[in-house]
Structure 1
Amino acid sequence: MRIVNEALTPFDVQPVSGTIALQPRFTAPVRSSGRVPAAAVDAQDGKGAVSIGWLLSDGKHTPEQRIGIRVLKEILVGSPASPLRKALLDSGLGEDLIDGAGWDEMRQPVFVTGLKGVSEANRDRIEPLVLDTLENLVRSGIDQAAADAAVNTIEFALRENGTWARGIGTILRSFETWLYDGDPIAALAFEQPLAAVQAGRGESRRYFEKMIEQYLLTNPHRSTIWHAPDAELLTRQEADEKARLAKIRSGLGDEELQRITAKSLELKHRQETPNSPEALAKLPMLRLGDLDRKNTVIPREVMTLEGRPVLLHGLSTNGIAYIDIGFDLQTLSGDELAYVPVLARALTELGTDNEDEVTFARRIAGHTGGIEPRAFSLTKTDAKSTAAWLVLRGKATVAKAAELIAIFRDLLLSARLDQRERLRRLVLEEKARLEANLVPMGSYYCGLRLKAGANESGFANEQLYGVSQLAFLRRLAAETETDWAAALARLTAIRSKLIMRSSAAASVTVDTNAGASLLAQIDRLLGSLPTGSYTPLAWQPLSRPRNEGLVVPTQVNYVAKGTGILDFAARPDGAALAVCRW
């Protein structure tokens, strides 16, 4: 604070209101359109997006209403079984859902949904579909199992309060009220308002149906926007900006131009001049002496069950069991890696031989905190060999951990892959999401592309998540239409090669006294997997030009350059990590 005070002392204090003003309410729904940058192929096909949004509050809502709104959003679009999500995706009018259900931290919460990849011919069909689906839910009623699953999902998330940095997570949650002059503790104390929601459900079985009527169907503050694709938009904007700057420059005299040039040179000089030792001494610095010389040791017990490695971590987890089931990706060839993200989602989202996708999704949401598939590849510390895994990460309360393991067993042994339309929809969703991420995450994709030519691990990650994955998804989307039998046969064969006991491993993190009972169930799960053997396959790094350029519709250029720093060291150490992070 002393440093900040010294920096601000030369400036005069200006009275500024810290209150965030309320958004004026609409008296009637509005419709509008706007043009958005798009790739030439999308503009040629006329594929844009339709978003429908509601302002849900006047800023005076209670904690019960805020949590109730969060549960309602989960019911409508939060899971593959959600009725509004299914209605939009199953309609075939677009490629992926517009996910605007997470904006609960605003003073006035909003709910936004819609579709991406919508042709102009279908743009006017999205809003009626959404409203008709909502009206049908009010008329026919929301399935109580769906409501129970949504409440469980939200309660689990609130109780867990994040897993990456709980202190920071607590601070961020307090901002939901604190930023708007409210009590920061009110956003953290969720048990009473959640209990009030449950009590409201007990008093009226139409609790959430009434919320749909109040917040969505009879709410005049609704906005529907057509986002029209335009391949020339960025070019026109750049030309307009150049013309505007040229006009400004033509109105400047020689003296003004010289003054601007001098200020620019002065700014450049100040930016390039190193700070003095006195100035640097004012900055708070973390020094080596401030750090513990020994890392915190995470307890780990390594054992073998059914011939496979299992790790047990006895930690305080607030009564939650975290269970990971992994499969070695080196059972697959380099060409087969691209199928893994689609297969991973199919295992958890397409249902099983005994349960359709809706029933299975509700079972997962109703008994667990979710199952998240994640594939990754890493280079080992010898700088040569590779570790690559598909991991299914699940969590549940200890009391329901047995049901989580049963769900793992069902999705691994009997997931339905033969559902053509649902699988094609899943592929289109993945494609649309990757396309949407190219511009805001350009540096990430450049990095993946560079590393793909360096080693096995880089090659695998680019196949799984990079530009190669996007090209694969486009081919697979077409193949599901033109040659479904071949696509299904390859996906089924890859599942058989990957999901087997000899390629499996497991990790359990739970309170120490709950570990023994879970290990017995993990043992039975591993024993139920198909038998088989494999020899780890080698992957060749991506062969590509030394210099490569990829074209995306953006005014920002992402440039990456890399080299293999580990070629100059016998073994990586902390210095190598510092260079990578710099």
Structure 2
Amino acid sequence: MDLKRQKTEQAAAAHGFVIDTRRELPQIGAVLWQMHFAKNGARLLWLERGEENKTFAAAFKTLPSDDTGVFHILEHSLLCGSRKYPVSKPFVEMIKSSLQTFMNAFTFPDKTMYPVSSRNQKDFLNLMDVYLDAVLHPLCLEREEIFRQEGWHYELDSPEGELSCNGVVYNEMKGMYASPDTLIDSALNRALFPDNCYQFQSGGDPACIPALTYEEYRAQYRKYYHPSGAWFLLDGEMDIEPVLEKIGQALSGFEPQQEDHPIPLQSPVHPDETRLPYETGEEDIAKKTILAKGWVYGRYDEPEKDLACQALCEMLCGSNEAPLKKALLERGLAENVEFSKVDGVQQPFAVLVVRNAAGDQEQAIWDTVQSVLEKLADGGLDHRRLEAVISRMEFRYREKETGGFPQGLVNCMKMLESCLYGGDPAQNLCLSGAFLRLREGIEGGYFEQFIRENFLENRHCARLALVPSRELGERKRKEEAERLRRIKGRWSSQETEQVIRGLAALRTFQSTPDRPEDLASLPVLALADIEEETPDIPRQVTEEAGVTALYHPLETEGIAHLVWYFSAEDLTEEELHLLSFLQTLLGQTRTAHLDVLELTAALDGELGRFQTSADVFAQRGETEKCKPCFTVHVSALEEKLEEAKELTKEVLLDTDFSDLACLRARLRQLRLSLEQHVLMQGDSYASLRIAAGCSAKGAAREALRGISMLDWLREMDSRFEERGRELAARLKELCQRLFVRRRAVLSVTGQIPDEEIAGLASSLPEGEAPAEAASWFRRRQVREGILVPAPVGFAGKGGHLAQCGAGYGGAMAVAARILSYGYLWNTVRVKGGAYGTRLAITPGGDVAFTSFRDPSAAVSLAAFDKAGASLRELCAGGPELVPYIISAIAASEPLLTARQKGMQAAEDYMEQVTEQMRREDRRQILATTPEDLEKVSRLLDEICEKGGSCIVGGQEILAAAGDTLPCRRNL
């Protein structure tokens, strides 16, 4: 027996755990330990693997029985103080004093999860300690104010005043329900699962949230939050003895509880079609109906079936040439079609969404869907394409790119998605066998049979129609106001006074600072606990065939990651719109030698990644110049580099834009995507509008992905008949102009021979270098309101450090953490009810205050103005800055994969950021003093005075801003 295994077994026994199984998982290079706590049966899983980032999660099965969002509110509330740490926001206090690489909580349809991760063992133990006490001994069971703050409460300042409703989760879900996608999710779940917990909206329906009482909230916690029904999940390389000791101590005070809360399997149902209105700001709603259909296709313990459904979703609707999507688009029955699966639940289901259809063509749409599926089930599937889709899926599985989530967190989620229902926790971690069986099933008719059984003959399905309405939003607002008037009218004078006193008590609770001794109880790191600087990312710069080549020789497990940066610095503002549109076409449009299906099959079969984007680079502090670039990301197995080179060349140089119907369809889909994104991420668009008035980089980014890009798409769509051919010609000319060696920088990450890099660099024509950089940036202050069909808003205020004659310094990173998780959190989120708020100061000089899903966006704008004064007040009190400094260091050194490290090094090169500059930033952060912060506070005052402001929100949200936003426009 090896020493490590022996140590784990001894630690488990010493701290009350019984080891149930230990399994080697060679597919992923890990060992899976399964244990339970002897006293009460709490279950523990540890995926032991060679990963320095350590992850912990506490998870509970939480089954909603109504739409009040009780478990969503509990998720928020449990992180608002506990028995051992009786502070108002330990979650925030740890964010601003920890080296955490991830810290959050999630409410799922049938479970709630509380994960943290850190590369530092001491920090990891601190985070675990706070989270364990939070979930097992929360203060919210004793302090109703926490429930009222995070969930919902009435607001009434005087007997004559107007009654309103507020609360963080309440406002979050009002924002969510402004999206048709939330309506689709909610309605389909209700139709498909009428007999179990999935029929309810676990996040909460804002119309139902105010029905939740404090008593029921407490009862639901006591029913579901007990260690006997909990899972404690670990991932990574760690000293396991202190980890088990900490968990064991937390669990030792609980006796066993027998109730297991099984979820009954839903028997097949086939309800009548559901019809619901949704709000839109469009004037012409003739073709704005949204149709959806869901099919329950399997169970949690059928990973092969789950992968098959994912492959078919891509096959049927993954591009405009995919058979189901193509049939609906070519007949003019829709503007966009999406097919996806909803998994991570006991019974996963597939969802087809057909967007922007005419109301009188619903039957034609469903007839077309039926006929296409029949044809495919009868042997019409392209098996070569199917093989390619599965290859791309398997590449992603092996590559383990997890976006913004640590791999350890994803592993914990995958384990939970099986073991929560009694399944094997390793099931979704080890999928090589499932991929092999899928490949074997291609020629055997497995996928055709899947279509017939699960989409054509499956009686467990439901249909939905969302009907557009221009009046719905205003009608709902009036109904809500009338409902609140009726509620207030039914109250006696004593009840009215009770509500007024309750609000006063809540505000007192929110305004009362934590006691110093309580704050001191939180476990924190010292500066000595911060590890040495991470090693520099290796970078070799050479000139290959006229191309600047950046080589990052990192271990990538046999995968080559290539990024091409093509300079677009001489493009006009209008050409940047064209560039942004181009990124949605390449790889999705036919070429001189391949039709779309052949192209996508080649890209998926030979490459692991082919993605394009438009980025903007500028030197630090530069406001008058920038370098927009068209960026091409390619990942492939090292032995597939030749195929990667040829396919990249085919797409960049030989894409055929002559199919005008294809161009128009893609243009409309991009427009629709941006419209929905503004509705859900309005803070990003507010920030883009403000930055566009401050620097060339800000203006270029707004032109590429902001409101002005949406304006261009709408204009181009409206004039497509007369300008379509011109658009196609301009796209072709742009490709010929851009994709040449004299505009290119090539970044390569992996273990690649020099001659391979030279071959990649020489694959493109030499071409012409960029002409003189375009001069189109017009400095202008933005004070703007953008009207969207939503009951909440997004506020932004900011500018650029250059407006104050200042440059970036490390103390600004510390100031941003202090204000984001101090003054702004307390003022805008806790008291104001916004779902989120932050201050961001980038090394490039951009400064942005934002709020997210905010019921009082105009009030938040005024609050931003006082941030500088708040920082000065803090500095005058002689603050302890070490926790903020540690937090700022953590934010500046995020967890990166090898591919991401290569990208960071390349982007640093593009912006002329050196390792010496990064080290100086770090040194300044570590040396931050109150005097430095006081200087930053004055800069923030000046930014708020000289900078711009923008609110994205509904009519009432904008009306409250009055004359502070003189420019108004309807999205």
1:497 to 730, 737, 740: 737
Give the letter aligned to residue 476 of structure 1: M
- Residue deviations 1:40-79 (CA, integer Å, cap 9, x gap): 4243x3412111211112x364232222222232322234
Once residues 483 and 189 of structure 1 are traced to their aligned partners in structure 2, the CA distance between those partners, rounded to angstroms, is 52
Identify which of 358, 361, 368 aligns with 2:607: 368
Letter in 1 for 2:277: R
Partners of 1:561 and 1:232 in 2: CA distance? 31
Cα separation, 2, equivalents of 1:7 and 1:102: 35
Matching residue of 2:762:
524
Match of 2:384 in 1: 145
2:431 to 180, 190, 195: 190
Q: Which stretch has the larger CA shift, 434-443 or 10-19?
A: 10-19
Kindly report which structure 2 residues correspond to 1:190-339, keeping only aligned pairs within 5 A, or say none. Answer: 190-201=431-442, 204=444, 206-339=445-578
1:451 to 676, 688, 691: 691
| Structure 1 SS opposite 2:292 | strand
Superposition TM-score, scaled by structure 2 size: 0.56
CA contact (8 A) 2:309 2:341 kept: no
Is the contact between residue 292 and residue 354 of structure 2 (CA under 8 Å) also seen in structure 1?
yes
Alignment of 1:4-43 (within 5 A): 4=134, 5-7=136-138, 14-16=222-224, 19=261, 21-22=263-264, 24-28=266-270, 30-43=272-285
The percentage of counterpart residues that share the same residue type is 26
Query: In structure 2, do the counterparts of structure 1 residues 424 and 480 end up closer, same or farther at CA, with 3 Å as the change threshold?
Result: same
The answer to whether the 8 A contact 1:95-1:116 is kept is yes
Corresponding residue for 2:783? 547
- Helix, strand or coil at the partner of 1:176: helix
2:411 corresponds to which residue? Answer: 170
Between the aligned partners of 2:322 and 2:487, the Cα distance in structure 1 is 54
Answer yes or no: is the 8 Å Cα contact 1:327–1:503 preserved in 2.
Answer: yes
Post-superposition offset of 1:22: 4.5
Q: CA RMSD in A?
A: 2.3
Residue number among 326, 329, 333 corresponding to 1:93 in the alignment = 333
- Structure 1: state its 5+ residue gaps: none
Q: Is the 8 A contact 1:323 1:509 kept in 2?
A: yes
1:354 is matched with 593
The 8 Å contact of residues 52 and 112 in structure 1, kept in 2 or not, is answered as yes
Counterpart residue identity of residue 725, structure 2: A
Displacement of 1:363 in angstroms is: 0.7
Q: Is the 8 A contact 2:540 2:552 kept in 1?
A: yes
Deviations 1:249-303 (A, max 9, x none): 1111111111111111111111122212122223344554332342331111111
Change in 2 beyond 3 A, CA 1:22/1:324: farther
**Which letter maps to 2:456?**
L
Partner of 1:331: helix, strand, or coil?
coil
The answer on whether the counterparts of 2:568 and 2:630 sit within 8 Å (CA) in structure 1 is yes
Aligned AA (1:184):
P
Query: Would the alpha carbon gap of residues 451 and 137 (structure 1) be closer, same or farther in structure 2, given more than 3 Å must change?
Result: same
Q: Which is worse superposed, 454-463 or 82-91? A: 82-91
How many Å separate the matches in 2 of 1:79 and 1:174? 32
- 2:291 and 2:463 map into 1 onto residues whose CA distance is 7
> Which whole-Å deviations, capped at 9, do the CAs of 1:189-248 have from their partners, x for residues lacking one?
11122222233345x1x1100010111100012222111001111111111111111111
2:690/2:781 contact within 8 Å kept: no
Aligned 8 A contact 1:19 1:180 in 2? no
Q: TM-score when scaled to structure 1?
A: 0.92
Report if the CA contact (8 A) 1:3-1:282 is conserved: no
Supply the distance in 1 between the matched residues of 2:544 and 2:268 (Cα, whole angstroms).
Answer: 62
In the alignment, the residues of structure 2 paired with residue 562 and residue 339 of structure 1 have an alpha-carbon distance, to the nearest angstrom, of 28
Q: Distance between the aligned counterparts of 1:389 and 1:334, measured in 2?
A: 13
CA contact (8 A) 1:351 1:416 kept: yes
Are 1:329 and 1:498, in contact at CA under 8 Å, matched by a contact in 2? yes
Q: Secondary structure at the match of 2:377?
A: helix
Task: Give the counterpart letter for 2:430 in structure 1.
Answer: A
Distance 1:308 1:487, change over 3 A: same
Structure 2 CA distance, aligned partners of 1:557 and 1:187? Answer: 39
CA, structure 1 residues 517+130, in 2 after alignment: closer, same or farther (shift >3 Å)? farther
| Cα deviation 1:348-400 (Å, max 9, x = unaligned) | 21121111111111111111113110111133224334232111101111121
The AA in structure 2 aligned to 1:522 is L
Match of 1:574 in 2: 810
How far did residue 438 of structure 1 move? 1.5
Counterpart amino acid of 1:89?
L
Q: How does 1:501-516 map to 2 (within 5 A)?
A: 501-510=741-750, 512=751, 514-516=752-754
Letter in 2 for 1:15: K
Q: Is the 8 A contact 1:332 1:498 kept in 2?
A: no
- Structure of greater relative contact order (alpha carbons < 8 Å, 6+ residues apart): 1
Partner of 2:718: 478
Partners of 2:264 and 2:372 lie apart in 1 by 30
Please state whether the residue corresponding to 1:187 is helix, strand or coil. coil
